[in-house]
Structure 1
Amino acid sequence: MKAFGFLSFGHYGPFHGSQTRTASDMILQTVDLAVGADELGVNGAYVRVHHFAPQQASPIPLLTAMAAKTRRIEVGTGVIDMRYENPLQLAEEAAALDILSANRIALGISRGSPEPAVRGYEAFGYTGSADPRGADLAREKFERFLAAIGGEGVADGDPRQFPHGTKLPVEPQSPGLRERIWWGSGTRDTAEWTGKQGLNLMSSTLLTEDAGVPFHVLQHEQIERYRAAYQAAGHTRAPRVSVSRSVFPITTSRDAMYFGSRPEGDQVGIIDGFRSTFGKTYAAEPDELIEQLRKDSAVMAADTVMLTIPNQLGVEYNLHLLESFAQHVAPALGWKPNTEGPVEGEPL
């Protein structure tokens, strides 16, 4: 494991014990979490994206604020639901964010998870999908997004200003942005597709398939098939792979109160119509956690681990969790504090 970061689901609501009772609480605290994590040497700060729910929705303003107030940490998403996006507008915003952050972004994009609204993307004006889940719409728009960030012409130039047949690209452009785009893959087949495209792979605590093997074994196979497809397609850049995990070092009585009685083992269930495998929660004292994670073949195969955090417990407690992992667990897995990043005088 070369890097780790936190993944915030961005929940908020006026519930007992919640430190994020409003959208304002959640958004401002996410920025504070990124700042604190940056000071700890944590590598990444990532946010989930959901629509029609009390969670983070449009991520670019939040990521921009996170990047502006930090120096080294990578900021990104896990994941942007492409069904809801205008691909050209997202390309413009992503390029601007990449420039402002000095290339510190990791934009995870995919078809997205099930949403509370039925075909909610149609309320955003995106119609015409033949797939009840909108996968065809997401792929088509993602291809247009990739073309746009790659500088391809996507609009006809006015013949009064440009030679006949001129195609105009979106602006601004940020060279190398494509190398910082990830596809959120939920199956082994989509992992292979991701490798063929030359994108980075983002895999979560859920796979929308069940092969009758432990979650980490299935996810490790997903990673291996991705890397094989990436190499076979002739891509030469070193690809990146991230996995998400719920990991809670128990170092205080408060930790034990919150997470000491979590059930062990993977779970299998139905999500979005698919029989799916959910990864287990790791909650133990640091020495035991180290041994458990060393046996997690997908964690050891990935270069980046995203720790899903209980964001409603507030900034102070979540920074405690990150610091505990950084001090007592991560070094034994090969991690070193993040000391690289823009120096004074470079872009934000």
Structure 2
Amino acid sequence: MKKIGFLSFGHWSDARGSRVRSAEESLRQSLELAVAAEEIGIAAAHFRVHHFAAQQSSPLPLLATIAARTSRLEVGTGVIDMRYEAPLHLAEEAASLDLLSGGRVQLGIGRGSPEAADRGYQRFGHTPRDDESPADLARRHTASFLSAIGGDGIATPAPESGRAGALLPITPVSPGLRERVLWGAGNLDTALWAARQGMQLMSSTVIIDDKGIPFEHLQREQIDGFRSAWREAAWPWEPRVTVVRSIVPLVDDLSRAYFGADPRRDEGSGVLQGLAYRFGGSFTGEPEELVERLRADSALAAADTVLITIPNQLGVDYNARQLAAVHAIGRELGWHE
């Protein structure tokens, strides 16, 4: 069985044709789509996080509102850039959200992708130490965050409290949340690192590696390496792999008008900040064709959850129809009943 969720970038723009023209509309429509997705049978709603841009930047209030309006839908991120985060504050907020949602949080965190601002995390008060890179800063924040949500003692009791002895943990602590943190891994090495830290794997449509082999093979290598490293680390909970895919069923005139002219958008490669990368192609076509193409994807076959990227600026009705079509395709593939 495989869960299906959606991943929204939460864009807004007043450009011609956009149905999401402000931050308020982006938030309200994200809530509406999440409610509709649960009614369709979609299992998870995830939101991308970017700062200093016309996208979602503070996801936890949105996730809390979605959790209050739904009963089964998992809520999560993909991903929170840990360079920008005060880890103990994030731990308190994430634990509170998890308790309110009844344990439905799937929190995706990571080093983050390129942001609009140059070293914007410094404006948030976070600067790498002299011996650190920005990636090291993200990992240091991550270690503090994982320790905190796991209930470890952190702070020395105040002398006047009369509580000498054990260090104080953050409050609240939500049992099980530590097991539901996903690391957005950009390559095989970071996937192995995530497994050794006891974090679940989230693998996107971009891998910072290009060995001249198809994207799905690169991603399958990442997944297999993660599962092997998890077994070696012997964590007492089950590993979970989430992959992101662009899946666009052509089911009506609108979807054909937007995406039907170039239905086979192949994968490719490029250079990002001096590093070679490969990106996955788009699965666009008639539903019957997509069933066979998705069945042949070896990396997708190895995943536990697939998150469908959505063009959120096309509005709630369009994306709800697309999610319903993907849900039907998933049934044909045996991903769910």
> If the length of structure 1 is used for normalisation, what is the TM-score?
0.94
In the alignment, which residue of structure 2 is the partner of 1:82? Answer: 82
Cα distance, 1:199 vs. partner?
1.4
CA deviations over 1:272-308 (Å, ceiling 9, x no partner) = 3311111001101011101111111111110100000
Given residue 315 of structure 1, which amino acid in structure 2 is its aligned partner?
V
Give 3-state SS (helix, strand or coil) of 1:183's partner. Answer: strand
CA deviations over 1:218-237 (Å, ceiling 9, x no partner) = 00000000000000111232
1:19 aligns with 2:19: yes
**Distance in 1 of aligned mates of 2:227 and 2:273:** 27
Give 3-state SS (helix, strand or coil) of 1:156's partner. Answer: coil
In the alignment, which residue of structure 1 is the partner of 2:226? Answer: 226
1:175 aligns with 2:182: no
**Distance in 2 of aligned mates of 1:33 and 1:72:** 14
Report the more deviating stretch, 189-198 or 75-84.
189-198
- Counting only pairs closer than 5 Å after superposition, residues 66-81 of structure 1 correspond to structure 2 as 66-81=66-81
In the alignment, which residue of structure 1 is the partner of 2:28? Answer: 28
C-alpha contact 1:11 1:56 (8 A) present in aligned 2: yes
**Distance in 2 of aligned mates of 1:278 and 1:130:** 33
In the alignment, which residue of structure 1 is the partner of 2:153? Answer: 153
In the alignment, which residue of structure 1 is the partner of 2:5? Answer: 5
In the alignment, which residue of structure 1 is the partner of 2:319? Answer: 318
In the alignment, which residue of structure 1 is the partner of 2:266? Answer: 265
C-alpha contact 1:130 1:136 (8 A) present in aligned 2: no
In the alignment, which residue of structure 2 is the partner of 1:284? Answer: 285
**Distance in 2 of aligned mates of 1:15 and 1:131:** 44
Give 3-state SS (helix, strand or coil) of 1:238's partner. Answer: coil
Given residue 82 of structure 2, which amino acid in structure 1 is its aligned partner?
M
C-alpha contact 2:128 2:136 (8 A) present in aligned 1: no
- Counting only pairs closer than 5 Å after superposition, residues 90-239 of structure 1 correspond to structure 2 as 90-130=90-130, 134-239=134-239
Give 3-state SS (helix, strand or coil) of 1:167's partner. Answer: coil
In the alignment, which residue of structure 1 is the partner of 2:298? Answer: 297
**Distance in 1 of aligned mates of 2:186 and 2:253:** 36
Given residue 84 of structure 2, which amino acid in structure 1 is its aligned partner?
Y
C-alpha contact 1:266 1:279 (8 A) present in aligned 2: yes
Give 3-state SS (helix, strand or coil) of 1:324's partner. Answer: helix
C-alpha contact 2:192 2:225 (8 A) present in aligned 1: yes
RMSD: 1.3
Given residue 107 of structure 2, which amino acid in structure 1 is its aligned partner?
L
Cα distance, 1:325 vs. partner?
1.1
Cα distance, 1:128 vs. partner?
2.8
> If the length of structure 2 is used for normalisation, what is the TM-score?
0.97
C-alpha contact 2:185 2:202 (8 A) present in aligned 1: yes
CA deviations over 1:33-54 (Å, ceiling 9, x no partner) = 0000001110000000000000
Give 3-state SS (helix, strand or coil) of 1:168's partner. Answer: coil
In the alignment, which residue of structure 2 is the partner of 1:41? Answer: 41
**Distance in 2 of aligned mates of 1:66 and 1:254:** 28
Cα distance, 1:163 vs. partner?
4.3
Give 3-state SS (helix, strand or coil) of 1:172's partner. Answer: coil
CA deviations over 1:119-145 (Å, ceiling 9, x no partner) = 100000101345896101000010000
C-alpha contact 1:84 1:121 (8 A) present in aligned 2: yes
Runs of 5+ unmatched residues, structure 1: 338-348
After the TM superposition, list the runs of 4 or more consecutive aligned residues in structure 1 that deviate by more than 6 angstroms.
Answer: none
1:94–1:251 CA distance, 2 compared to 1 (3 A): same
Given residue 287 of structure 1, which amino acid in structure 2 is its aligned partner?
E
C-alpha contact 1:265 1:281 (8 A) present in aligned 2: yes
**Distance in 2 of aligned mates of 1:272 and 1:154:** 37
C-alpha contact 1:43 1:72 (8 A) present in aligned 2: yes
Percent same amino acid at aligned positions?
Answer: 51
1:257–1:217 CA distance, 2 compared to 1 (3 A): same
C-alpha contact 2:111 2:138 (8 A) present in aligned 1: yes
**Distance in 2 of aligned mates of 1:106 and 1:215:** 25
Cα distance, 1:198 vs. partner?
1.7
C-alpha contact 1:119 1:133 (8 A) present in aligned 2: no
1:305–1:74 CA distance, 2 compared to 1 (3 A): same
**Distance in 2 of aligned mates of 1:335 and 1:197:** 29
Runs of 5+ unmatched residues, structure 2: none
**Distance in 1 of aligned mates of 2:130 and 2:142:** 16
Given residue 144 of structure 1, which amino acid in structure 2 is its aligned partner?
S
